[in-house]
Amino acid sequence: MLYDYAKAKTESAAILELIAKKKLSETERQTVITESVKYWTEHVNPGFLKYRKSVSTDYTAVEWEDEGAVFRDVNGIEFIDMLGGFGIYNVGHRHPKVLSAVKNQLERQAIHSQELIDPLRPYLAHLLSLITPGDLKYSFFTNSGTESVEGCLKMAMLATGRKHFVGAIGGFHGKSLGALGGTSKAVFREPFLPLLHWSHVPFGNTEALRTLLASTDFSGDRVAAVVLEPIQGEGGINVAPPGYLVAARELCDQYGAMLIFDEIQCGMGRTGKMFYCEYDGVTPDLMALAKGFGGGIMPIGAVVGTAKTWEKYIENPFLHTTTFGGNPLACAASIATINVLLEEDLLKAAAVQGEYLLKALLALSNKYPKVMASARGVGLMLGMEFVDNDLGYDIAQKLFARRILIAGTYINARVVRVEPPLVINRKQIDTFLTALEESLQDVYKERGFGNSWAVQKNLDPAAASQP
Ligand SMILES: Cc1ncc(COP(=O)(O)O)c(C=O)c1O
């Protein structure tokens, strides 16, 4: 028998009881750990669990509850979150205002009828028109980042009648079949080729972009849109060099291409501005949002566009639709998120804490150059570059053992990101920095690099090994 309704009925009831519990007994905690690992292996993906094990050092870190800049596993062990869900938790874990907006909405209506006018979508679209730069004015809401990029691609096709896209090497835009074309790494794309028509240019190189746009214009293979992350997240926290975004804007205008900014990871206040492109004073034709846009509580993304990009879509609004995108719960979360970012001045917090953190990371890379090559980024979108791939992994593991969660970037294995919730406080940052220095010293010892940091700085080696 392949199915067992009776078992599904009793087991689902037991899981519901578990969800409803405020506190778990020791036996229940052990059961959650054992069953999570078992069912993940049997019914989700055993390969993924093996990969996860290498960072979490053992299987016992099953996440259970969270708040602010920390989360606790099922055994109540608390971790400082220096990963921020890859850019999800900008306003912190379960910010009370976001939580209460979602709860209030949930008690009235969860999902809209799809037929009448649901009010939160237009309210949220209006708010976005107030906080996005330039003449961005229309919004279409999605359920994820990759869907936001898909929406941008379709709008660019409609606005230009063209189908050729240009992305950047190191770019990451998601893994659905349209957005995957823009994601630049072979390992993710190759099994699925051919994708949409994409070309990739080196990130930050204006001349390469100019040459591609000029040659495709000459050959008639004209470009619908240039798609860029203003700071490449998965590519290794690569900040667009000065003047690059401005030049991209001018080149797109010259060759009739749309400019799409993927602010899914660098947007919503993370870099100290609401959107990173504001630093360069550049407005794209289309902007993709997700991740932190739902306040770390609801999944929601957005395609934000100018009047020009929406023209054909206004003629036929059924060219692009979604059932759940922009549902009332998700919109409530986003509205609260925008309010929290502004009310609590989290943009400034990101800038101030980010400056402090980057300075400290640079000092550590100076002190431990055999392990940490450099650090870079803006606001709280930072990355540490290690001398080789293994070292970064090693440090991430050692930090995890010290109750700090951190992770690498998808496309550049040498870079480990530092993207905590913007609400992180100075004490938590200092705890992270101490743990990082201890981990760097451990690696020095284990790899036989000695304690050259102490010699370099003319310190007493015995004292220097006690951070
Ligand atoms: C810049 C960027 N774009 C798109 C995506 C895809 O978002 P999602 O995983 O929600 O589909 C990501 C996810 O990491 C991202 O960082």
* 146 C-alpha to ligand 1 centroid (Å): 6
Q: How many CB atoms lie within 10 A of CB 393?
A: 18
Below-50 pLDDT ranges, the chain: 461-467
What six digits make up the tokens of 318? 């059924």
User: Which of 183, 228, 291 to mutate for ligand 1's pocket (most ligand atoms within 8 Å of CB)?
Assistant: 291
Atom of ligand 1 nearest to the CA of 232: 1
Per-residue confidence (pLDDT) for residue 252, from 0 to 100: 98
Atom of ligand 1 nearest to the CA of 86: 14
Per-residue confidence (pLDDT) for residue 409, from 0 to 100: 82
Q: Please work out whether the CB of residue 229 comes within 6 Å of at least one atom of ligand 1.
A: yes
Q: Distances in Å between the alpha carbon of 119 and those of 26, 116, 236, 336?
A: 46, 9, 39, 15
User: Which of 86, 188, 228, 264 to mutate for ligand 1's pocket (most ligand atoms within 8 Å of CB)?
Assistant: 264
The span from the CA of 451 to the CA of 113, in Å, is: 65
| 145 touches 174 (CB < 8 A) | yes
* 33 C-alpha to ligand 1 centroid (Å): 29
Q: Please work out whether the CB of residue 86 comes within 6 Å of at least one atom of ligand 1.
A: yes
The span from the CA of 403 to the CA of 405, in Å, is: 7
Q: Please work out whether the CB of residue 145 comes within 6 Å of at least one atom of ligand 1.
A: yes
The span from the CA of 337 to the CA of 291, in Å, is: 11
**Which is nearest to 204 in space by CA: 228, 233, 220, 182?**
228
Give, using CA atoms, the residue closest to atom 8 of ligand 1. Answer: 145
Q: Please work out whether the CB of residue 144 comes within 6 Å of at least one atom of ligand 1.
A: yes
CA angle 425, 426, 427 (to 5 degrees): 95
Query: β-pairing, 407-408 with 258-262?
Result: unpaired
* 205 C-alpha to ligand 1 centroid (Å): 23
What six digits make up the tokens of 204? 């930050």
Per-residue confidence (pLDDT) for residue 1, from 0 to 100: 61
The span from the CA of 251 to the CA of 232, in Å, is: 20
User: Which of 83, 142, 150, 173 to mutate for ligand 1's pocket (most ligand atoms within 8 Å of CB)?
Assistant: 173
Per-residue confidence (pLDDT) for residue 51, from 0 to 100: 67
Q: Please work out whether the CB of residue 394 comes within 6 Å of at least one atom of ligand 1.
A: no
Burial, 133: exposed, middle or buried (Cβ in 10 Å; 0-12, 13-18, 19+)? middle
* 265 C-alpha to ligand 1 centroid (Å): 7
Give, using CA atoms, the residue closest to atom 10 of ligand 1. Answer: 145
Q: Inter-axis angle of helices 426-446 and 389-401, to 10 degrees? A: 120
Contacts of 292 (CB under 8 A, 6+ apart): 87, 88, 89, 90, 91, 267, 268, 269, 270, 337
The span from the CA of 396 to the CA of 382, in Å, is: 15
User: Which of 90, 184, 265, 286 to mutate for ligand 1's pocket (most ligand atoms within 8 Å of CB)?
Assistant: 265
* 95 C-alpha to ligand 1 centroid (Å): 22
User: Which of 172, 239, 261, 381 to mutate for ligand 1's pocket (most ligand atoms within 8 Å of CB)?
Assistant: 172
Q: Please work out whether the CB of residue 170 comes within 6 Å of at least one atom of ligand 1.
A: no
* 148 C-alpha to ligand 1 centroid (Å): 9
Per-residue confidence (pLDDT) for residue 385, from 0 to 100: 96
Per-residue confidence (pLDDT) for residue 460, from 0 to 100: 52
* 180 C-alpha to ligand 1 centroid (Å): 10
* 401 C-alpha to ligand 1 centroid (Å): 28
Q: Please work out whether the CB of residue 234 comes within 6 Å of at least one atom of ligand 1.
A: yes
Segment 313-340, tens digit of pLDDT? 999 999 999 999 999 999 999 999 999 9
**Which is nearest to 139 in space by CA: 281, 330, 346?**
330
Domains plus CATH for the chain? 36-93+346-464 (3.90.1150.10), 96-343 (3.40.640.10)
Atom of ligand 1 nearest to the CA of 263: 1
The span from the CA of 51 to the CA of 408, in Å, is: 12
Q: C-alpha dihedral over 340, 346, 347, 349, to 10 degrees?
A: 170
The span from the CA of 361 to the CA of 372, in Å, is: 9
The span from the CA of 368 to the CA of 356, in Å, is: 18
Give, using CA atoms, the residue closest to atom 2 of ligand 1. Answer: 173
Q: Per the omega criterion (within 30 degrees of 0), is the bond before 133 cis? A: no
